[in-house]
Structure 1
């Protein structure tokens, strides 16, 4: 498998292979090759569908074969070339592979910016700033002005900012916020306040909050549907019943919890990440009093305190747990009062409740349309 972006006869070309055949997308317009214009390029794939966008125009789409949705690669991400061009797949480029000559900046992969400096890459050569000076691109933050000096560079900061790259407010230059707290400048009072990280409290966030033993549920799921209730822990008989619910809304993960007083604001993961791509996804939800942690594919995606006053802290779910929906005759949209619109259609496996090391056995005899995801049902 591979995904490759290259410059071919002045056109940008995207090629990717998910395991069966190579898909080729090419822009309709050429790029400027005299070095006077910066171009904005967006390329990638969602499932088996690829996209290519040069300067916001001429987006092209194409789909790989149905069933081929995952890009399975276990190598580094290469920019500008590969250590040995002989290793480049013959289908990844149109002509004989050569290294890129030019300037590249602001490389963002899956919403994370790749640092292009001499020290950050794991290897390579000829890495430097495109403007030919130590100032580079956007070195000085918050509209600071970069100046080249014999020893390197310096930043002239606008009013209200300080630091070597103008990254710090003058009101937070000597703050006392601890425990990974965020300093919030208060210019009108010439002071600051501390926004504590979850698990800490106090004026300077120096008092640790002690939690009870956490409630935890984890499972694997796969689906091609954008809506569906995956898990409902609770009776689901009255709107005052405690519950913890996990499901999909518009293709993204949605978690809702009620500890007895009110329904919390639903915790919804970024709309840019889809969970309905027919791949297996591993989700874990941890409840420590009123603090909720949600992990997706072993990455922490949501962390929120749903009630800082901690009036209710226990999940009294009555020992009842539904998977995929409710009994026949009880519509998901009705029981959940519109929080989720339909039952889950897909596969679930490896369900673990709380700290139990044993997985729950999902058998056809228990529930309705419930199957173990290890079988092709």
Structure 2
């Protein structure tokens, strides 16, 4: 299996093979090779459906019957490979050659790869494209980089300070303690402290314990399931006891929450009623809403959600309220949530 993006006669090509056939997509337009034009490229696959987007012009290869998973166990290479003999003969149209040019931002599945000397595992013959100490995005928050004899300096916008304009002026002398996060509030010319678990108070300086979690709208708890790899992902059962006096809010999210392709099961309150949303891999979120009963006003409720392949059953206060088969074709039947569960919100 492989996935390869290459430059072919001025066009961008995406090629991938999931084990049965090679899918090929090519952009309509050529890239500019004058060395002064930056291009934005998006490429990827969902199952065996590929997509390629150069500067907003999109190409999509519709899904067909066949393999759906990319099984690779090698390193991820950018710009070239350690040995061109490693490149599958179907991965490029012509003889494989290394890329000549500049790359200043790479995001893989919503995770940005840092293009620095220290972050990659290995590499060879790579220089700085800017040619100076400024490079790309050295200065944060729209700061202006200035080259100096001993490196660089950043000229920061009015509300930012620090060597690389990384800190808000409202947080530069904050009193947040104990691993708390300072969040600037420019409209109020102030800041708020987001407390780590086990701490409370305006400045997160009060140590606390709790046995019933209280959420305040910008809270969350994250759990990692240590037994995830041993679980039958075609079956899940979630049961929880909650109360609220609000008409909107996320109660539970099972999933990575990193990309629109990620599987998830979400439970929350919308307009005072119960809402469940499930995505098993189709990138189509199926909402299930029970609008016959208001869940606000401070009463305690027990909700249970049972997933058996594509069948979803929901119980409220021990009584069944919803049942739906979200995909009778059974194309995707497992909830691949990555062993991650959020309660009350996200990080």
Q: How far 1:67 moved relative to its partner?
A: 3.9
What's the secondary structure of 1:86's corresponding residue?
helix
What's the secondary structure of 2:265's corresponding residue?
strand
Equivalent of 2:281 in 276, 280, 289 = 276
Matches within 5 A, 1:65-80: 65-80=64-79
Aligned residue pairs, count: 288
Q: State how far apart, in whole Å, the 1-side matches of 2:196 and 2:31 are.
A: 46
Q: Deviations over 1:101-144 (max 9, x none)?
A: 00011111111111111221111123333221110122111221
- Which residue is 1:253 aligned to? 264
Q: State how far apart, in whole Å, the 1-side matches of 2:113 and 2:4 are.
A: 17
Q: Is the 8 A contact 1:140 1:155 kept in 2?
A: yes
Q: State how far apart, in whole Å, the 2-side matches of 1:117 and 1:322 are.
A: 44
Q: Deviations over 1:329-369 (max 9, x none)?
A: x9xxx9546xx75467555699xxxxxxxxxxxxxxxxxxx
Q: State how far apart, in whole Å, the 2-side matches of 1:245 and 1:118 are.
A: 40
- Which residue is 2:287 aligned to? none
Aligned CA distance change for structure 1 residues 186 and 253 (closer, same or farther; 3 Å): closer
Q: How far 1:29 moved relative to its partner?
A: 1.3
Segments of 5+ residues of structure 1 without an aligned counterpart are 223-228, 236-243, 279-306, 351-377
What's the secondary structure of 1:171's corresponding residue?
coil
Aligned CA distance change for structure 1 residues 27 and 179 (closer, same or farther; 3 Å): same
Please, what is the CA RMSD of the aligned residues? 4.2
Q: How far 1:250 moved relative to its partner?
A: 11
- Which residue is 2:4 aligned to? 4
TM-score, normalized by length of structure 1?
Answer: 0.64
Q: Is the 8 A contact 2:46 2:261 kept in 1?
A: no
- Which residue is 2:85 aligned to? 86
Q: How far 1:192 moved relative to its partner?
A: 2.8
- Which residue is 1:284 aligned to? none
1:49 and 2:21 are equivalent in the alignment: no
Q: How far 1:176 moved relative to its partner?
A: 2.8
Aligned CA distance change for structure 1 residues 317 and 132 (closer, same or farther; 3 Å): closer
Matches within 5 A, 1:1-377: 1-57=1-57, 59-63=58-62, 65-187=64-186, 191-212=190-211, 219-222=231-234, 231=237, 233=239, 253-256=264-267, 275-276=280-281, 323=308, 324-325=311-312, 335-336=320-321, 342=325, 346=330, 347=333
Q: Is the 8 A contact 2:171 2:182 kept in 1?
A: yes
Aligned CA distance change for structure 1 residues 62 and 14 (closer, same or farther; 3 Å): same
Q: How far 1:48 moved relative to its partner?
A: 0.8
Q: State how far apart, in whole Å, the 2-side matches of 1:349 and 1:113 are.
A: 25
Q: State how far apart, in whole Å, the 2-side matches of 1:157 and 1:168 are.
A: 10
Q: How far 1:65 moved relative to its partner?
A: 4.8
Q: State how far apart, in whole Å, the 2-side matches of 1:86 and 1:126 are.
A: 18
TM-score, normalized by length of structure 2?
Answer: 0.68
Q: State how far apart, in whole Å, the 2-side matches of 1:17 and 1:204 are.
A: 53
